[in-house]
Amino acid sequence: MVMTASPALMADRDGDLAAVVLRERSRLGRFIRRRVLDPADAEDILQDVFQEFINAYRLPTPIEQAGAWLFRVARNRIIDRFRSRRLDPLLQRSWEPETADGEGTQQLDFALPATDESPEAEYVRSALLLALQQAISELPDDQREVFLAHELEGRSFKDMAAQSGVGLNTLLARKRYAVLHLRHRLQAVYDELEL
């Protein structure tokens, strides 16, 4: 004989479920957005976590600490998303043509684990940063200068061209070759760490 819950009990459980979602939504959203660069991906993860929570909440075994459960599932979804992007983790944006002023979206989108994670994440973070420093030091001087000026100093290609007298297309090519080298070198580290 299958036992069904009374309508009053179901209404109470649904009310508890809604209260947890309302209470944890903003805090959980901030947690995810600090770790996921793309706002759309962060929102997808948040929705996935709440969908899984709703499904788990309706099971006969209750969830004792809903907040801790939500954050644990969110952390796992973030890790899953990070691992699924393994094939192209370093340059999430494509190479797009430059605009007339020499600005485009050529950037190295370098994903590091958050600093408040586990010892394993801290090890991965330090290994990736060390590999990045080494890879940058391997670049030819002209590529390294353009890469650092654009990525770290935020200088535009147009300004660099005007100041140095080097053609805009030459600067763009140097940046592109630098990013390709860094992607290649860092992909080896990602593969070694099995991210």
Distance CA 158, CA 37 (A): 27
Contact 144, 136 (CB under 8 A): yes
Considering the domain boundaries, does residue 99 fall inside one? yes
Best CA proximity match to 90, nearest among 194, 192, 193, 185: 185
From 69, 84, 99, the end of a domain falls on 84
Q: Are residues 125 and 178 in the same domain?
A: yes
Q: Is residue 151 part of a domain?
A: yes
Give me the domain span that covers residue 177.
88-195
Domain termination site, one of 84, 119, 146: 84
Same domain, 125 and 172: yes
Rg (CA), the chain: 23
Same domain, 21 and 114: no
Q: Is 56 contained in some domain?
A: yes
Residues 108 and 163 in one domain: yes
CA atoms of 32 and 36, how far apart (whole Å):
6
Q: Which of 33, 73, 36, 25 is nearest to 53 (CA)?
A: 73
What tokens does 98 get? 């430059």
Domain check: are 121 and 135 in the same one? yes
Percent of the chain topping pLDDT 90: 16
Identity at 179, one-letter amino acid code:
V
Give the tens place of pLDDT for each residue, 110-150. 555 555 555 666 677 777 788 888 888 999 999 999 988 88
**What is the overall mean pLDDT for the chain?**
75
Domain termination residue (choose one: 84, 117, 150): 84
Q: Which of 88, 108, 105 is nearest to 178 (CA)?
A: 108
In a domain, 69, yes or no: yes
Is 2 part of any domain?
Answer: no
The per-residue pLDDT for 31 is 87
Do 72 and 114 belong to one domain?
no
Total structural domains within the chain: 2
CATH number at 113 reads 1.10.10.10
Q: Give this prediction's pTM.
A: 0.45
Q: Report which residue type is found at 108.
A: L
The two three-digit tokens of residue 126, written as one number: 């330090």
Quick one: 95 and 185 in the same domain?
yes
